[in-house]
Amino acid sequence: MTEAPNYRRERIERLFNELRHEITRGMLEGEIDEEIHFNFVIPVSKHFPKGCVIFKCETRPSPDAHMLPIGVVCEPRLKVVK
């Protein structure tokens, strides 16, 4: 029974990596906009008896890499090679 949570988490992480790839390609090729918002609510929480869990995912353009955490570099610049 302990394998199920690990399997689910690994699957979610794999899907996030695939999503990152698709978003990057879509933006590089001009197929999708730079601003994407995706939110949903899970109506249960382990931390709060009457609470919920909120999932938020968004992309937004930034004029510079000044908002990146310390140590994260926004290089090399990517480009589509045809």
Residue extents of the structural domains in the chain: 3-67
Can you give the pTM of this predicted structure?
Answer: 0.67
Helices (H) and strands (E) in the chain, counts: 1, 2
Report the SS3 class of residue 69. Answer: coil
pLDDT score for 61 = 85
pLDDT higher than threshold 90 for residue 70: no
CA gyration radius, the chain = 17
57 phi, psi to nearest 5 deg: -140, 130
Q: d(Cα 53, Cα 48) in Å, to the nearest integer?
A: 9
pLDDT in tens, 9-59: 999 999 999 999 999 899 989 999 999 999 999 999 999 999 999 999 999
